[in-house]
Amino acid sequence: EAGVTQSPTHLIKTRGQQATLRCSPISGHTSVYWYQQALGLGLQFLLWYDEGEERNRGNFPPRFSGRQFPNYSSELNVNALELEDSALYLCASSLREGSTEAFFGQGTRLTVV
Amino acid sequence: GENVGLHLPTLSVQEGDNSIINCAYSNSASDYFIWYKQESGKGPQFIIDIRSNMDKRQGQRVTVLLNKTVKHLSLQIAATQPGDSAVYFCAENPSPRGNKLVFGAGTILRVKS
């Protein structure tokens, strides 16, 4: 069974540009979560999607947005990129809302120059 | 976001010794806790979990202890091996719905041979 897959693995953008990150959850999982992990720091909750809807978001500005598609895959969009947005962006999926264990992908390393 | 500006503490242990990694959580209403292991260049990997109605749970070479009185969680690794070298994160789920996991800052475990 394939795990959570994220693309691209690495992404380099210039300040002010937009970045789009993609995540495919484990087959059958309906909930997708996005986390930001800045270098040397812990994971910060960004967004949670379930059944195509945004259920919750963390303490991030509106230029961080996303969506979940009918096949439960998800995109994270970051507009007006700033240097501080450079981080590892991790996607996790779980079986359904209220399910406990979340499985993580390998992440997308976003570098803003 | 949360935990901004924190840097990770490091625990160095000799191969074969036992390791104890500690974590303080913030929300007394959290009912589910997880320990994750993150190796360099990889996403977090589930190690062990525990619900708030338990104070101890054992896995293979790992034990998680939960002290709800002081909101403290610990991960014990028996006979630590070089492959255990990684960053370890505790996470709490303060939401009854979904996995809006709140992660601790993380601890770097270095195993000396």
Q: Calculate how close chain B gets to A38, using CA atoms only, in Å.
A: 9
Largest CA distance in chain A: 39
Ramachandran bin of B83, using left for φ above 0, alpha for ψ from -120 to 50, beta for the remaining angles: alpha
Least confident of A31-40, A66-75, B58-67: A31-40
Integer CA distances (angstroms), A25 to A45, A57, A103, in order: 17, 18, 9
Question: pLDDT tens digits for B18-43?
Answer: 999 999 988 888 888 999 999 988 88
Please, how many CA atoms are within 13 Å of residue B31, restricted to the half-sphere of its CB?
Answer: 9
Max mean pLDDT among A9-18, B24-33, B40-49 falls in A9-18
User: Nearest CB to A56: which of B5, B49, B98?
Assistant: B98
Each residue of A55-89: pLDDT tens digit? 888 889 999 999 999 999 999 999 999 999 999 99
| Mean pLDDT of all residues in A11-32 | 96
pLDDT over threshold 80, residue B95: no
Using a CB–CB cutoff of 8 Å, tell me whether B46 touches chain A: yes
Average of per-residue pLDDT across B62-91:
95
* pLDDT over 90 (residue B94): no
Contact present, B100 and A48 (Cβ < 8 Å): yes
